[in-house]
Amino acid sequence: MLVPDTPNIAELDRIIFDELCHGELHERSRRCYVEAIEALAARGAQGVILGCTEIGLLVTPPDTGVALYDTTRLHVEAAVEYALAE
């Protein structure tokens, strides 16, 4: 398991709480996330978990070649599958 470098963590958190939680989507913030994802890939990450519900609004699979696992999407898909199961 890898996490972003310490200097990046504060900025990634700031983007979540000061922008995404307020419905703000900025290109510079998307670039910041993509750069963090690419840095993790350079350190050996084969995929990245988007563990905050808002990150998937900012970063999507076309933004990077790294596999993204959007936990919001995964939970919704599982809930729908469960609800539709007989």
Q: Where are the domains of the chain?
A: 6-84
Please say whether the beta carbons of 66 and 48 come within 8 A.
Answer: yes
62-86 pLDDT tens trace: 999 999 999 999 999 999 999 999 7
Give residue 5's pLDDT band: very low, low, confident or very high (50, 70, 90).
confident
7 SS3 class: helix
Handedness of CA 69, 75, 80, 86 (dihedral sign): positive
Q: Tell me the per-residue pLDDT of 34-52, one tens digit each, with 9 for 90 and over.
A: 999 999 999 999 999 999 9
At residue 57 the predicted structure's pLDDT band, cuts being 50, 70 and 90, is very high
CB 15 within 8 A of CB 25: no
In 10 A of CB 22, how many CB atoms?
8
CATH class of domain segment(s) 6-84: alpha beta
pTM above 0.85, yes or no: yes
How many angstroms separate the CA atoms of 79 and 81, rounded?
5
